[in-house]
A = this chain, B = another copy of it.
Amino acid sequence: MQPPFHRLEEFVGLTSSEKDSIGQWFANPKRIKKHAPIRREGDPVTGVFFLTQGWVASSVVLRAGRRQLVKIHLPGDMLGFPSLALTAAGETLEALSEVSLCHISNASLGQIFTRHPRLAVGLMLSTQKERVALMQKLSWVGAASSLERLAAFILDLADRLAAVEMIEEGRFDFPLTQQQLGELLGLTSVHINRTLRRLDETGFVDRQRGWLWIKDLEGLKSLAPNVPPDFAGKEAGLRLLGHGN
């Protein structure tokens, strides 16, 4: 199976030599069992990860024993970038399903910058995209009701699932527990349950353990607190590197 390059090629076109360099990353993918930790907060920072299959949650813990899920990662995502700036990992990465991922060592990552500047730009833009997504999520949690937050998350998720063909006619596997949804959106699992039921009763979604079905996309969109940002694709890379390149 072809590794999901789409996120790496989103912002810059890659030459075959660049693709070769990347190809090494996928030499020996690692399989992780459902619910197993990939990396814990405080672990040494050995590099980043490229997720090829499955769902991963990244989270930070607070003193009170609470925790915040920062992001749900899907195939094609790069994991662990923020921790590069820290002495020890600042986020826990946990497999939400059977997961397959590749480790990219610090040295390999550094070589991208010294040898493949175009690829480095692509990586940088990719992490800026993540930052935009994080800003959006902060705005949901800081300034939207439970119904709005849930709608926004489901819509965002559906978009990202579509990019890797993990959604069909609005239906998709959904391995998150309501507890985890709550930790993701700053709500309790009890309130997630009630809010989910409201979406259900209105006919916007249908759900069973393990999967979700968006029955009324436009209805959900009418609830969302913002319109999703418009990512620039290759144009972003060209702005930085010049059109003659």
Complex: how many Å from CA A47 to CA B147? 36
Contact residues, A104-131 vs B (CB, 8 A): 106-107, 109-110, 113-114, 117-118, 120-121, 123-131
| Contact indicator A82/B242 (Cβ below 8 Å) | no
Nearest residue (CB) in B for A59 is B139
User: So how many copies of this chain end up in the complex?
Assistant: 2
B138 near A138 with CB under 8 A, answer: yes
Partner of A134, one of B121, B138, B186, B227: B138
Q: Which of chain B's residues have a CB closer than 8 A to the CB of A86?
A: 132, 229-232, 236
- Please indicate the chain B residues that have their CB under 8 angstroms from the CB of A67 in the complex: 139, 143
The interface residues of chain B lying within 8 Å CB-to-CB of A226 are 60-63
Number of interface residues of A (CB under 8 A): 68
**A124→B229 CA distance, assembly (Å):** 22
B-contact bits for A124-165, CB 8 A (1 contact / 0 none): 111111111011111101111000000000000000000000
* Interface residues in chain A, defined as those with a beta carbon under 8 Å from any beta carbon in chain B: 11, 45, 60-64, 66-68, 70, 81-88, 90-91, 106-107, 109-110, 113-114, 117-118, 120-121, 123-132, 134-139, 141-144, 183, 185-186, 224-227, 229-232, 235-236, 239-242
Closest 6 A/B residue pairs (Cβ): A142-B186, A110-B240, A68-B139, A85-B128, A85-B129, A106-B239
